[in-house]
Structure 1
Amino acid sequence: MPAMPHSGSSSKPLMMFGAEGAGTLASPSNQLWDDKDLELQAEMDRFVEDGSLDDNVESFLSHDDTDPRDAVGRCFTFMEVNSVRASSSKVTCCHFSSDGKLLATGGHDKKAVLWYTDTLKPKSTLEEHSCLITDVRFSPSMSRLATSSFDKTVRVWDADSPGYSLRTFMGHSGNVMSLDFHPTKDDLICSCDGDGEIRYWSINNGNCARAFKGGTAPGTAQLRFQPRLGKYLAAAAENVVSILDTETQTCRHSLQGHTKPIHFVCWDPSGELLASVSADSVRVWSFASGSEGECVHELSCNGNKF
């Protein structure tokens, strides 16, 4: 890793998946809010929704509708393998490292915590953000970790020695909602904010390589690069997922069908399937050759919330 200067001073279960299976992070519903957080409450709806994962799973696994797109809901089950009290406040995001040895969590307490997955003991706590953390991601190829926050910054850390951030990227006018590392370009990271702006950052140079408006609606909630090739960038805003060309930023596909705002998007490891999640449904989209942008599965929550 190139040497980089120091840039700063030293209850709803959240489902997470890794190489060893699935588990949950317990997050209590009673936490203290400061004045700044209260002013931003309108943008925090996707971080504080109530609901029971157990109820949701039972509901959609027992779904009897004959629509073949719903068949995916009867093909898997969830089982809790372990849990850890990650924070005294709400946990909003988590991510496994590519080797499965570390888990990163972040949330309302403005901290990101690294955990050893074999023992579920904390490795280190990252405490430079001044407002709640909205997303946390490991680099797929290097020992790097990135966090985004309502403080309008993105910070990059050395996952092996995260005593302080290696880079702090500033420039977003809105609260930073999400970020992701490019799967093949080690120097490239992207982020999006509540005003709908997407920025590409050069980690090595420490500057903004590109800034543009992404998607067809303001307020991008989450973005994710397509794994392996990184040809596409999926950006969710309102009830639409825009599939952007990573190089040209042109919108190649506009995935429509959700009736409520989309909170999360996730690619499968092959990059041929994309899942989009709103409060009432999950849609799975194909990006295999000959069927790009086609909805191949739809899963209803049957009155509960995802």
Structure 2
Amino acid sequence: MATSECGEPERRFGRTRSDSQHTEAWKRHIIRQLKYRDKAQKTLFQDLIRSYLSLLERCTQKAFITKGLLSVTRPLLHPSSEDSPSSLKRATGELAYQVVELQHEIKIKETCLEKQHARLRECQNDLGAVQLEHGRLQASVADVEEGNRLLKSKYDLLLERHQHTEQAYRKEELSGSELLEDMIRWKQQAAERMNSRNERRVRAREAGRNKHPEAASSKTFNFDEELQSASSPSSSSTSSSPSSPSFLRSESNERVERVQGRLFRSASATSPRFLGSIKGLFERKRRGSSICNLEEHISSPLGICLAARVPTKAVHLLDAHELGINAVRFSPRSNLLATGGTDRVIKLWDIAAGMLHYRGTLDGSNEGITSIEFDSTGTRILAASYDNSALFWRLDDFVPKFTLTGHSRKVTAARFKSHLKQVVTGSADRTVKIWDLQRAACIRTIEVLSYCSDAVCSEYYIISGHYDRKIRFWDSRAASCTQEVPLQGRVTSLDISPNHRELLSCSRDESLQLVDLRMSNARMAFRADGFKCGSDSTKAIFSPDGSYLVAGSADGAVYIWNVGTGKLETQLPDLHRSSVNAVAWSMSGEYVVSVDKSRKAILWSDI
């Protein structure tokens, strides 16, 4: 019974679901039939509807036109009774005229439209040509870039080879210098051994003579007698016999001369000139033929200044150049003065009776002169120039012997090295170059981080001053910076004391700095009220005895400091009309010369 009761509702529920599904089916069928009928009937009337819409649109346009015409012709259609026909004719003519004008305007517009279409076609053609040219240029750019990449790869390869070659060259140069030092050391040892042997021989002979003093005295007496008898003709026959006293004396003299000759030769073997000749022979063998004569390397004896005299007054004033003067230098013998300026020449002056006498002019520079340097013999002059070069003259020829070119900007300093066969130049292109005078070629380039304003050098070291307020010490054999000394202003000049123990620098912080080269941390500053560094190339120097410092100021005065006391010794009157660029102190210690931007040179003395 329970089973039947439960089963009955289930069957009832099943019938209800089937009935609902059947109802949904016939509804969907009816909807589909209605959509189909609507589509079929609408298709039949679609053309009619479009035609109706077109007619309706035309009617609307006509109504609009009619309305406009009515507004225009209403006064004409209802005129007064007298002139209605004439008014109608006039209105009709005006309308016709307007129609003609509109047609003319339409033609003009059509002509303009055709021209614009033609211009548009031309622009399209030009655009096509430009696009073609653009494509061609892009292809050429791609080719150039590819060529640049190939060139860059070749350049990198060549640069790498150059670096390897330069490293090998430096190694060979170092090995050559080591061989030279070994050779010199062996020669010194051989000379010492020869000296010791000669000394032993001399001592042995002196000891032998001391053993027989009576015989030695008798021989001396016999020598005197023989000299007296040699004056007579009868003595000529006996003077040549081996047993005669004269023969003994001549033999003893020859022995003494041979001993003295050996002593002289052994002593000269260790002299600097002998070692220099060995070094010169080695360098000539290594470098080839020289363009300089051997006489140029022989240093003439120079005077030594025992005490410089502080000048007190101006003894001679003159306009030395046509334009401003940048450099001045005395020769080592103090009898010749050289001045160089922006007028591209170096003028030579003789000093006699407290006056400057014109001697000659050295031509050859294409731009102004920035610095001048005499060699130690006083027969050659080296100058730096604004034309990116350094020039070399002999005093017996007013034309440069050769020009050192290789810098890319102006050369601010040119100095002889101590052995006079090399030259050091500093430039605004941030390089310092070492030149071989025998070949007139650059043998080493030192890259620096800043504008080089001045440089000084010794045998193996180069000291340079720069705009980045630093003094740099370079080992010229390895081209490496060994030390940097910072300052408070741009460095304008450098100078080394006569004993090579102190370095003087002038900088734009209106001071001079004295650096002890043995202890670079020990420094002394020199200042004075009124002293002002006038330019980036103002020169300050030592006196020839190293006791004083002298520099020119922007106000036209010359200031002299005492190195021992650190105080201002004197201030020479401001006779210059403009900033003093450079000063020079004669080796004799008697004269000081100052030059300025207004082409004036003044000779100072205490006489």
Q: Which residue of the partner structure matches residue 256 of structure 1?
A: 486
Paired residues for 1:126-275 under 5 Å: 126-141=362-377, 143-159=379-395, 161-183=396-418, 185-214=419-448, 217-226=449-458, 230-238=459-467, 239-258=469-488, 260-275=489-504
**Distance (whole Å) between structure 2 residues aligned to residue 170 and residue 94 of structure 1:** 23
Q: 1:157 to 1:202 in 2, by over 3 A?
A: same
Q: 1:303 to 1:121 in 2, by over 3 A?
A: closer
Q: Which residue of the partner structure matches residue 190 of structure 2?
A: none
> How high is the TM-score relative to the length of structure 2?
0.36
**Distance (whole Å) between structure 2 residues aligned to residue 137 and residue 116 of structure 1:** 17
Cα deviation, residue 243, structure 1? 1.6
Cα deviation, residue 294, structure 1? 2.4
> How high is the TM-score relative to the length of structure 1?
0.68
- C-alpha RMSD of matched pairs (Å): 2.3
Cα deviation, residue 303, structure 1? 5.6
Cα deviation, residue 203, structure 1? 1.3
The question of 1:114 aligning with 2:348 is answered yes
Cα deviation, residue 178, structure 1? 0.9
Kept in 2, the 8 Å contact 1:242–1:251? The answer is yes
Return the letter of the residue paired with 1:281: S
* Larger-gyration structure (1/2): 2
- Secondary structure (helix, strand or coil) at the match of 2:474 reads strand
Kept in 2, the 8 Å contact 1:142–1:186? The answer is no
**Distance (whole Å) between structure 1 residues aligned to residue 316 and residue 486 of structure 2:** 36
Kept in 2, the 8 Å contact 1:263–1:277? The answer is yes
Return the letter of the residue paired with 1:299: F
Q: 1:286 to 1:223 in 2, by over 3 A?
A: same
Kept in 1, the 8 Å contact 2:456–2:495? The answer is yes
Return the letter of the residue paired with 1:128: G
Q: 1:199 to 1:78 in 2, by over 3 A?
A: farther
Deviations 1:271-305 (A, max 9, x none): 100010013110000013xx1x1243101244641
Cα deviation, residue 78, structure 1? 6.0
4+ long deviations beyond 3 Å: 18-22, 76-84, 301-304
**Distance (whole Å) between structure 2 residues aligned to residue 273 and residue 225 of structure 1:** 13
Consecutive unaligned residues of structure 2, counting only runs of 5 or more, are 1-289, 293-303, 534-607
Return the letter of the residue paired with 1:107: G
Q: Which residue of the partner structure matches residue 505 of structure 2?
A: 276
Cα deviation, residue 21, structure 1? 5.8
The question of 1:300 aligning with 2:527 is answered yes
More helix by share: 2
Return the letter of the residue paired with 2:513: R
Aligned-residue identity in percent: 19
More strand by share: 1
Consecutive unaligned residues of structure 1, counting only runs of 5 or more, are 5-17, 23-75
Deviations 1:98-135 (A, max 9, x none): 12121111011111111113351122111211111111
Deviations 1:53-88 (A, max 9, x none): xxxxxxxxxxxxxxxxxxxxxxx7765454443213
Deviations 1:171-207 (A, max 9, x none): 1111111110002x22101111101111111112111
**Distance (whole Å) between structure 2 residues aligned to residue 80 and residue 283 of structure 1:** 27
**Distance (whole Å) between structure 1 residues aligned to residue 452 and residue 312 of structure 2:** 29
Larger deviation, residues 274-283 vs 77-86: 77-86
Q: Give the aligned length.
A: 228
**Distance (whole Å) between structure 1 residues aligned to residue 315 and residue 470 of structure 2:** 34
Q: 1:110 to 1:295 in 2, by over 3 A?
A: farther
Q: 1:21 to 1:125 in 2, by over 3 A?
A: farther
- Secondary structure (helix, strand or coil) at the match of 2:400 reads coil
Q: Per chain length, whose mean CA-contact separation is higher, i.e. which structure has more relative contact order (CA < 8 Å, sep 6+)?
A: 1
**Distance (whole Å) between structure 1 residues aligned to residue 317 and residue 493 of structure 2:** 22
Kept in 1, the 8 Å contact 2:501–2:516? The answer is yes
